[in-house]
Amino acid sequence: NYFEEFIHAPRESVQLAAEAGQESLTEFLIMGGSSVGIALIGITLASYMYLRHKIDPAAIAAKISSLYSLSKNKWYFDDIYYNVFVLGSRRLARQVLEVDYKVVDGVVNLTGLATLLTGEVLKYFENGRAQFYALIVFAAVLGLVIFSGVT
Protein backbone atom coordinates (compact mmCIF):
# COMPACT_ATOMS: atom_id res chain seq x y z
CA ASN A 1 0.00 0.00 0.00
CA TYR A 2 1.86 3.09 -1.25
CA PHE A 3 -0.60 5.51 0.33
CA GLU A 4 0.23 4.20 3.80
CA GLU A 5 3.88 5.14 3.31
CA PHE A 6 2.85 8.62 2.21
CA ILE A 7 0.44 9.23 5.11
CA HIS A 8 1.85 8.25 8.48
CA ALA A 9 1.70 9.35 12.09
CA PRO A 10 3.68 12.53 12.88
CA ARG A 11 5.52 10.93 15.79
CA GLU A 12 7.24 8.53 13.39
CA SER A 13 8.75 11.36 11.35
CA VAL A 14 9.82 13.18 14.53
CA GLN A 15 11.61 10.07 15.75
CA LEU A 16 13.30 9.59 12.37
CA ALA A 17 14.42 13.21 12.31
CA ALA A 18 15.78 12.97 15.85
CA GLU A 19 17.74 9.84 14.98
CA ALA A 20 19.08 11.27 11.73
CA GLY A 21 19.95 14.64 13.21
CA GLN A 22 22.49 13.48 15.78
CA GLU A 23 25.06 16.24 15.30
CA SER A 24 28.24 16.61 17.22
CA LEU A 25 29.45 19.80 18.85
CA THR A 26 32.68 19.77 16.84
CA GLU A 27 30.75 19.62 13.56
CA PHE A 28 28.64 22.59 14.66
CA LEU A 29 31.71 24.60 15.71
CA ILE A 30 33.55 23.88 12.46
CA MET A 31 30.58 24.76 10.24
CA GLY A 32 29.35 27.72 12.27
CA GLY A 33 32.81 29.05 13.03
CA SER A 34 33.95 28.96 9.42
CA SER A 35 30.86 30.80 8.17
CA VAL A 36 31.14 33.46 10.90
CA GLY A 37 34.89 33.79 10.22
CA ILE A 38 34.35 34.29 6.48
CA ALA A 39 31.67 36.91 7.20
CA LEU A 40 33.98 38.79 9.60
CA ILE A 41 36.81 38.78 7.05
CA GLY A 42 34.46 40.20 4.41
CA ILE A 43 33.15 42.91 6.75
CA THR A 44 36.70 43.86 7.77
CA LEU A 45 37.89 44.08 4.16
CA ALA A 46 34.85 46.16 3.20
CA SER A 47 35.48 48.59 6.06
CA TYR A 48 39.15 48.97 5.03
CA MET A 49 38.12 49.59 1.43
CA TYR A 50 35.09 51.83 1.75
CA LEU A 51 35.15 53.41 5.23
CA ARG A 52 38.84 53.93 5.99
CA HIS A 53 40.05 54.00 2.35
CA LYS A 54 43.23 52.09 3.27
CA ILE A 55 42.79 49.54 0.44
CA ASP A 56 42.09 50.70 -3.13
CA PRO A 57 39.39 48.50 -4.72
CA ALA A 58 40.29 49.76 -8.22
CA ALA A 59 43.87 48.51 -7.82
CA ILE A 60 42.63 45.06 -6.82
CA ALA A 61 40.21 45.05 -9.77
CA ALA A 62 43.04 46.00 -12.13
CA LYS A 63 45.25 43.16 -10.87
CA ILE A 64 42.59 40.50 -11.36
CA SER A 65 40.71 42.11 -14.26
CA SER A 66 39.42 38.88 -15.78
CA LEU A 67 37.95 37.67 -12.48
CA TYR A 68 36.60 41.18 -11.80
CA SER A 69 34.96 41.30 -15.23
CA LEU A 70 33.49 37.84 -14.73
CA SER A 71 32.11 38.83 -11.33
CA LYS A 72 30.85 42.20 -12.56
CA ASN A 73 28.91 40.53 -15.36
CA LYS A 74 27.41 38.00 -12.92
CA TRP A 75 29.37 35.11 -14.42
CA TYR A 76 27.48 35.81 -17.68
CA PHE A 77 24.50 33.82 -16.44
CA ASP A 78 22.07 36.42 -17.81
CA ASP A 79 23.65 36.30 -21.27
CA ILE A 80 23.73 32.52 -21.31
CA TYR A 81 20.11 32.35 -20.09
CA TYR A 82 19.01 34.86 -22.73
CA ASN A 83 20.82 33.15 -25.60
CA VAL A 84 19.87 29.60 -24.66
CA PHE A 85 16.39 29.82 -23.16
CA VAL A 86 14.85 33.09 -24.37
CA LEU A 87 16.10 33.00 -27.95
CA GLY A 88 15.68 29.22 -28.09
CA SER A 89 12.08 29.50 -26.93
CA ARG A 90 11.41 32.21 -29.49
CA ARG A 91 12.84 30.06 -32.30
CA LEU A 92 10.76 27.09 -31.19
CA ALA A 93 7.62 29.24 -30.89
CA ARG A 94 8.22 30.68 -34.37
CA GLN A 95 8.51 27.17 -35.84
CA VAL A 96 5.39 25.97 -34.01
CA LEU A 97 3.51 29.04 -35.27
CA GLU A 98 4.64 28.29 -38.83
CA VAL A 99 3.43 24.69 -38.54
CA ASP A 100 0.14 25.97 -37.14
CA TYR A 101 -0.34 28.38 -40.04
CA LYS A 102 0.64 25.95 -42.77
CA VAL A 103 -0.51 22.54 -41.53
CA VAL A 104 -3.33 23.03 -39.02
CA ASP A 105 -4.94 26.04 -40.67
CA GLY A 106 -4.32 24.46 -44.08
CA VAL A 107 -6.23 21.31 -43.10
CA VAL A 108 -9.11 23.37 -41.72
CA ASN A 109 -9.26 25.58 -44.82
CA LEU A 110 -8.98 22.56 -47.14
CA THR A 111 -11.84 20.85 -45.30
CA GLY A 112 -13.99 23.94 -45.70
CA LEU A 113 -13.10 24.24 -49.37
CA ALA A 114 -13.81 20.54 -49.99
CA THR A 115 -17.21 20.89 -48.31
CA LEU A 116 -18.01 23.96 -50.40
CA LEU A 117 -16.97 22.33 -53.67
CA THR A 118 -18.80 19.09 -52.86
CA GLY A 119 -21.94 21.06 -52.12
CA GLU A 120 -21.58 23.04 -55.34
CA VAL A 121 -21.20 19.85 -57.39
CA LEU A 122 -23.97 17.92 -55.64
CA LYS A 123 -26.55 20.70 -55.82
CA TYR A 124 -27.04 19.97 -59.52
CA PHE A 125 -27.92 16.35 -58.74
CA GLU A 126 -30.51 17.41 -56.18
CA ASN A 127 -34.01 17.18 -57.66
CA GLY A 128 -36.07 15.60 -54.88
CA ARG A 129 -36.86 12.29 -56.59
CA ALA A 130 -35.92 9.11 -54.73
CA GLN A 131 -35.72 7.08 -57.96
CA PHE A 132 -32.97 9.34 -59.26
CA TYR A 133 -31.00 8.96 -55.99
CA ALA A 134 -31.31 5.17 -56.25
CA LEU A 135 -30.09 5.32 -59.86
CA ILE A 136 -27.03 7.36 -58.81
CA VAL A 137 -26.20 4.90 -56.00
CA PHE A 138 -26.66 1.95 -58.39
CA ALA A 139 -24.42 3.59 -61.00
CA ALA A 140 -21.74 4.28 -58.38
CA VAL A 141 -21.80 0.67 -57.16
CA LEU A 142 -21.74 -0.63 -60.74
CA GLY A 143 -18.80 1.65 -61.50
CA LEU A 144 -16.91 0.32 -58.47
CA VAL A 145 -17.59 -3.29 -59.50
CA ILE A 146 -16.43 -2.66 -63.05
CA PHE A 147 -13.37 -0.71 -61.85
CA SER A 148 -12.36 -3.41 -59.36
CA GLY A 149 -12.93 -6.10 -62.00
CA VAL A 150 -10.75 -4.27 -64.53
CA THR A 151 -7.85 -3.75 -62.14
Domain boundaries, the chain: 1-72, 75-151
Q: Determine the Cα–Cα distance for residues 61 and 45; give it in Å rounded to an integer.
A: 14
Q: Determine the Cα–Cα distance for residues 93 and 97; give it in Å rounded to an integer.
A: 6
**Amino acid present at 47:** S
Look at residue 124 and tell me whether its pLDDT is greater than 90: no
Query: Do residues 88 and 82 touch, judged by C-beta distance below 8 A?
Result: no
Look at residue 12 and tell me whether its pLDDT is greater than 70: no
pTM of the predicted structure, to 2 decimals: 0.46
Give per-residue pLDDT as tens, 72-120: 999 999 999 999 999 999 999 999 999 999 999 999 999 999 999 998 9
Containing 116, the helix (H) or strand (E) segment is helix 105-122
**Amino acid present at 19:** E
pLDDT at 133: 82
Band of residue 126 on the pLDDT scale cut at 50, 70, 90 = confident
Q: Determine the Cα–Cα distance for residues 73 and 18; give it in Å rounded to an integer.
A: 44
Q: Count CA within 13 A, CB hemisphere, residue 144.
A: 5
* Helix residue ranges, H only, 10-104: 10-20, 25-46, 57-63, 65-72, 77-81, 87-99
Query: Do residues 86 and 94 touch, judged by C-beta distance below 8 A?
Result: no
* Helix residue ranges, H only, 7-24: 10-20
Average pLDDT of the residues in 18-30? 77
